[in-house]
């Protein structure tokens, strides 16, 4: 999913993000504001992942969504 698609689907995805990535708080999800790179940063921060591992988590979520 490219950045524009991600941002366009953000309102529908927010709840699913919280379910799939349980360490993210509602505030974290709101702070992302539909920006894929921001979400990757939050995943790295909350999970202690490398950028590559965060990307894998996000791609897994995108496939399910």
Report domain extents, the chain.
3-64
CB count, 10 Å around CB of 16? Answer: 13
pLDDT digits (tens, 9 = 90+) for 50-62: 999 999 999 999 9
The predicted model scores a pTM of 0.89
**Residue 30, exposed/middle/buried by CB under 10 A (0-12, 13-18, 19+)?**
exposed
- Choosing among 1.10.3720.10, 3.40.630.30, 1.10.1470.10, 3.40.50.170, the CATH entry for 3-64 is 1.10.1470.10
Structure tokens at 58: 């996000």
Q: Give tens-digit pLDDT for 17-51.
A: 999 999 999 999 999 999 999 999 999 999 999 99
Whole-number pLDDT of residue 28: 95
- pLDDT of the residue at 1: 87
C-alpha span between 45 and 39 (Å, rounded): 10
């Amino acid at each position: 999913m490219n950045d524009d698609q991600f941002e366009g689907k953000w309102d529908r995805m927010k709840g699913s993000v919280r379910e799939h990535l349980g360490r993210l708080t509602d505030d974290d999800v709101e702070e992302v504001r539909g920006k894929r790179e921001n979400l990757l940063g939050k995943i790295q921060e909350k999970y202690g992942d490398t950028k590559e591992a965060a990307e894998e988590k996000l791609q897994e979520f995108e496939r399910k969504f």
